[in-house]
Each structure stands twice: as C-alpha cells, then as structure tokens.
Structure 1
Amino acid sequence: MRVPQSPPSQSHLATSSGHVHLHVHGAESPHPPQPAPWSILRMGLRSRIAAALAVSAGLWALVLVAMR
C-alpha cells in the first residue's frame, strides 16, 4: 500500500557565509516577481526591426565566413 505524500514544501534553506536560516513563503506566491532589466517587448517597433536586422546580418556574416 502506498502512502500519499504531502505536496512539496515551499521552504528553502538559505545559506550565505556560514549563516543558515529558513526561507518560507506560501504556495500562492512561490517567489516574488522580479523586474526584468531588459525586455524586447518594451522596445519600439523601429528598434525591434533594427535589432532583428542587426542579428540577421551578423548571422549571415557568420554563414559567409564559414563557407569561405
């Protein structure tokens, strides 16, 4: 007979410089959201197109150099 296991705990042992403390938070908020330092979605349309063209040109340059 198999005994049902409890759901995984949302607690972690955090260690830093020899100091141990228990890090506990509820299941409804496993980790607090962190602000993204950069997002392509925040770029304007022209910036996105320019970035895509730059990446594409770089990749084509790689292909052409590899074919030499």
Structure 2
Amino acid sequence: MPHAHPHDHAHHHHSHAHGPATPHPPQAAPWSILRMTVAGRLAAALAVSVALWAVVLVAMR
C-alpha cells in the first residue's frame, strides 16, 4: 500500500579527525575515580550515599 507523504533522505555529514574504522582518540579526563585514594573513594561514596538518602527522606515527607 503506497503512502502519500514525502520523504527527505538528506544525510548529515560530520567531519572527524580520524578514519571511520578507527575509534575516537582518548581524551584526558579531568578526574578519575581510579586515580583517587581509598580515603577519597570512601568519602565520595559517603557523599553520594548522603545525597541519595536526602532525596529519599525528602520524598517521604
């Protein structure tokens, strides 16, 4: 069954600095949890936990 609405088959082209078969080059991360100390990781986990509990407690109000 044919349909009556027109199609626009325009393709968007983006310029890349690498070839289509190669992955994107790595970018330097401003921070990484893998480079944090154990104490830093624990502090970050505690901060995330406190924030999530705050959301839960506010939602239960």
Indicate the TM-score class for this superposition, using the shorter chain for normalisation: 0.5 to 0.7
Match of 2:19?
Answer: 25
Shift in Å, 1:13: 4.5
Q: CA deviation at 1:34?
A: 1.6
The percent identity for this pair of structures is 65
Structure with the bigger RCO (C-alpha within 8 Å, sep 6+) is 1
Number of equivalent positions: 49
When you count strand as a share of all residues, which structure comes out higher? 1
Q: State the TM-score, normalized to the length of structure 1.
A: 0.56
- RMSD of the alignment, in Å? 2.3
CA–CA distance in 1 between the matches of 2:24 and 2:41?
Answer: 30
Q: Which has the higher helix share?
A: 2
Deviations 1:4-43 (A, max 9, x none): xxxxxxxx742xxxxxxx755374x433222112111011
> Structure 1 residue runs of 4+, over 6 Å off?
none
